[in-house]
Structure 1
Amino acid sequence: MFILFGSPRSGTTLYKESLNLHSNIFIPNQTTFISPIAHVIGCISDWEKAQPIIIDIITSTDDYTEVLKPYISPIEIQEVLSTAEHTLAGVLEAIYNRIGRNSGKAMCGDKTPDDMLAIRKLEQVGLLNSNIKLVHIVRDVRGVMLSLKNVSWAPEGIEEYFPRLWNYTNLHLYKLMRGRPNYFFLRYEDLVSRPQDVLSRTTAFLDLPFETTMLDHNKRAPILRNDQSHLKLSEPFLNDRAVAWQSDLDRDIRQHCEASASEALQAFGYAL
């Protein structure tokens, strides 16, 4: 399996839905169970006590019925975890291997932007030192902030603290993992400007052949394309959106982003 990491509004859904057009890849819609069970594993060392809590968390999340249950039942979760390695990586591999078997896909992954906020906990419980493949997409925080200011669910005042979160979480994952064979890093700006190149390198990383169907925006995200947060998912790769912040982002927010996240901006090759 693999995990697709990225901050909110960084192109994780566009990337996921493009990968899902591959005949042998499946990534369900956003889940919410990885970070909670990481905390359970981190504080309950007795697996006989931790396992039923983990099962209960996975099957009780608000999104389980819609997102995961069509591909793995509660009974199957209990079954695969009974023989899984007693680690977060073992739990995830057991679940997604069964989802892959049930869906007929060779490679399955998880995509949950909120897990970036728990990156240190995921590191502490050993996930980042496992053999699970990690795909990490980063978008210029100034572009992220412009996108966040255009969605209704973003908390008031997010421009004050989010650039610092973006800087820390993405830089921590990048510096910890770069150079490792199970880590693939890309920038959103490269995905939308050179989609075939980025997607072909992604499939090579996942040990799968590239398929041109991943470039077909007409087939992308049939369920999410009517979601108010993802109205542009069914459009071609929009290179102009990657630089829209240069003209559309409030000057004060732009300066705050550059002051708060300059280290990561420079590390990822973004000009200040």
Structure 2
Amino acid sequence: MSRTTPATPTVAGKVVVITGGARGIGLATARKLHADGARVAIGDVDEATVKTTGADLGLEVAGLLDVTAEESFDAFLDQVERTLGPIDVLVNNAGIMPLGRLADEPDAVTRRVLDINVYGVILGSKLALRRMLARGSGHVINVASLAGKTPMAGAATYCASKYAVLGFTDTLRMEYHGTGVEFSAVLPTFTNTELIAGTAKPRLLRNAEPHEVAAAVADLILHPRPEVAVTRIAGVLVDSQNFVPRRVSERLGRMLGVDHAFTDDVDPVARRSYEDRARGV
């Protein structure tokens, strides 16, 4: 009796929406998935850049998306489904990381980080989930950070936002178990994008590259699992903190320089352009 060989998983033909797709990790992910045959749509609050990026990649859908506004997000998803078909994957990638000690952080910046990094992920997940549940299939991938598992001085609100994304993603996985909808988180370490402009990388560890994060997202689509860290070594190092006393893990962080990377070691001139955009200046 002959046996049927299982089909090889592929992203080809899948409809994938990526928020914050104009640059950085979002752009790298769009490029990777588009090259692999997915039908990719990118949205970004920077309308001019996202349209140029979409045209360069040859995407059918690339336009304005404010992840903090329900009307904008819902309209964008409607446009994707009218043009490309039912959404298979939503990659909640949009996020900002303005730096500075908490006492110096304006309330408007605090709210902006939480609105984009947390509420934007919750809103996008909710809107996509309603569509996916009706079909009994889909995948929400949230781009979190290893800063969602370990503290980083100078990025308190950012860390809080990424801790929230991890807890949110894990809870959705429990809440919708057995529905056919998957939930995953990607946890990059320091990644060579404008997000870390003007900062010093931790000692002994290399930064990740955007294409590595993109490859991790593509692999999650093919082989869904709760989370993946990029780089693997950084992920192992962060997870190992669970098995040592807090004072030991904090001492290790100081040895690696994470207590200064986002505070005293920041080059404000090199970082100014990103900070102005992240803060909405």
Q: Which TM-score tier does this pair reach, normalised by the shorter chain?
A: 0.3 to 0.5
Normalising by structure 1, report the TM-score.
0.40
Normalising by structure 2, report the TM-score.
0.39
Where is the strand percentage greater, Structure 1 or Structure 2? 2
Where is the helix percentage greater, Structure 1 or Structure 2? 1
Larger RCO, structures 1/2 (Cα 8 Å, 6+ apart): 1
